[in-house]
Amino acid sequence: MSSSLSSPLSRPSRRHFIAGAGAAAAASGFATGVLPGGTELAFAEPNDSAKSDVIVQVFLDGGADGLSLVPPVFDTGLNADYRALRVDGTFDIAVDPATALDLGGHPIFGLHPAFAPLYPAWTDANMAIIHAAGSPSSLTSTRSHFDAQEVWKRCGLPNATPAGWLARHLNTSADADGSLPGVAASSQLLVSMRGSPSAVAVSSIGGFNVFGFSDTAAVTSSLVDLYAADSGLFGSIGTRALNAVNVVSTVDTTTPPMNGAAYPNTGLGRDLQEVAQMIRADIGLQAVAVNTGGWDTHDDMGPASAGSRMYDRISYLTESLGAFYTDLGADMAEVTIVVLSEFGRTINVNGNGGTDHGRGSAMFVIGGGINGGVYGAFPSVIEDGPEGDLAVMNDFRQVLAEVITGRLDNGANLSSILPGFTPAGTPFGIT
């Protein structure tokens, strides 16, 4: 996770120096914290039951194939006839029922075997699975990655919802009063977080700093004076950025993961390890956005065995999430992870051994306060979607609504966080 509040130059020009700091401040939009000689930090406890959960959104960019993640292994018509389509005897992406991870004897589904690192969350009854989830056509039925991602991350159409859904949560939550409420694990503020003055982009804890100067302390002191002397937007934004730098600097990155957790040396693994460190640092963290790509599997998905493209992509996700779950241990009682993607894939395997853009996919909600199980409706007709894909049976916003109400303690502001959405029918019951 480097900071844009930096310069690669040892002697930057005044124009470069101020523009760089201002750009970083604008990207962070951070409002409260501490400066040298400033106010006392107001930290939140990660295991304080009086506080709402920390929400960690992990977005799978590219349209993850929910039928591979949670395969209908016991529906022979769907799993065998369509997922096992062979072209020249080479393409077979179906999951063997004998290797699928058991979901409590579920009559239709198992878990892809590459979920093994995260499987303890299921056996602990801390993982909820919602299949055939997606955006209803009344909101959007687009198969464009860009358009669909914008809708999911905003929970609304971009022209009507300029802010992200996590930003709206932070802006309305009574608990988002700590020193660093919102973090995007990225070099720029991710869409879900845009629109909140409480959110900051942190691509790495060690790199989020003022650096590139021969005397960093002197430069920082000069920045403090510079921003303090300006009563306008420039001074306000600059002060917020330096506040965020000081808060992040309090995070201890030297303590190894707990409970025997071992993070993989991958981008996602490093991001989630630092998220765990920030949660434990009691800096008032309330919402985190993490993106991970590589899910646009148009070709060469391969069989459900180690070494194939799809198996390795799922392992990339579950090894990192499994380490995060293990590392936090008891603190997962106050953390909720939501894993989602902009759409699913077609049911049929294409001629390149992959799947094309579809509609319904699978969502996951993980945490100590989650009621584990498989939830929601599933199509009774195999090819129920308009283009041979899995039909959307469960509105993704219903899942988020239950998390917002049951775990984030912000149900009073549900209509502001999910504009245009009205919960319908019986709740899933995931919280």
Least confident of 6-15, 20-29, 69-78: 6-15
CB atoms within 10 A of CB 8: 9
* Strand 182-184 relative to strand 287-292, pairing: parallel
| Residues in CB range of 118: below 8 A, 6 or more apart | 127, 318, 321, 322, 325, 366
Q: Rounded to 5 degrees, what angle do the CA atoms 186, 190, 191 make?
A: 170
Rounded CA separation 390/394 (Å): 11
Give the pLDDT confidence of 253-284 residue by residue, as tens digits. Answer: 999 999 999 999 999 999 999 999 999 999 99
* Confidence label for 94 from pLDDT (cuts 50, 70 and 90): confident
Is the confidence at residue 64, as pLDDT, over 70? yes
| Residues in CB range of 221: below 8 A, 6 or more apart | 36
The pLDDT value given to residue 321: 98
| Residues in CB range of 158: below 8 A, 6 or more apart | 150, 151
The pLDDT value given to residue 286: 95
| Percent of the chain whose pLDDT exceeds 70 | 83
> 41 is written with which tokens?
């930090």
Is the confidence at residue 308, as pLDDT, over 50? yes
β strands within 278-390, DSSP E: 287-292, 335-341, 361-367, 373-375
Q: Residues 240, 30: contact at Cβ < 8 Å?
A: yes
**For the domain bounded by 41-207+258-417, which CATH number is listed?**
3.40.720
Give the pLDDT confidence of 315-346 residue by residue, as tens digits. Answer: 999 999 999 999 999 999 999 999 999 999 99
Sign of the CA dihedral with 87 first, then 88, 91, and 92 last? positive
* Confidence label for 209 from pLDDT (cuts 50, 70 and 90): confident
Q: Residues 6, 213: contact at Cβ < 8 Å?
A: no
The reported pTM is 0.87
The pLDDT value given to residue 220: 84
Phi/psi for 57 (5° steps) reads: -95, 120
Q: Give strand pairing partners of 134.
A: 395
All CATH 3.40.720 domain ranges of the chain, comma separated, are 41-207+258-417
More confidently predicted of 288 and 41: 288
Is the confidence at residue 159, as pLDDT, over 90? no
User: C-alpha 233: how far from its chain's center?
Assistant: 31
Q: Residues 333, 318: contact at Cβ < 8 Å?
A: no
Per the prediction, the chain carries an average pLDDT of 85
CB atoms within 10 A of CB 217: 10
Rounded CA separation 154/58 (Å): 14
Q: Rounded to 5 degrees, what angle do the CA atoms 195, 278, 202 make?
A: 45
Is the confidence at residue 80, as pLDDT, over 80? no
DSSP for 244-275 reads HHHHHTT----SPPSTT----SSHHHHHHHHH
Rounded CA separation 426/421 (Å): 15
b/e sequence 290-323, b meaning 16+ C-beta within 10 Å: bbbeebbbeeebbbbeeebbbbebbbbbbbbbbb
Is the confidence at residue 411, as pLDDT, over 50? yes
Is the confidence at residue 41, as pLDDT, over 80? no
The pLDDT value given to residue 164: 97
| Residues in CB range of 123: below 8 A, 6 or more apart | none
Is the confidence at residue 27, as pLDDT, over 70? no
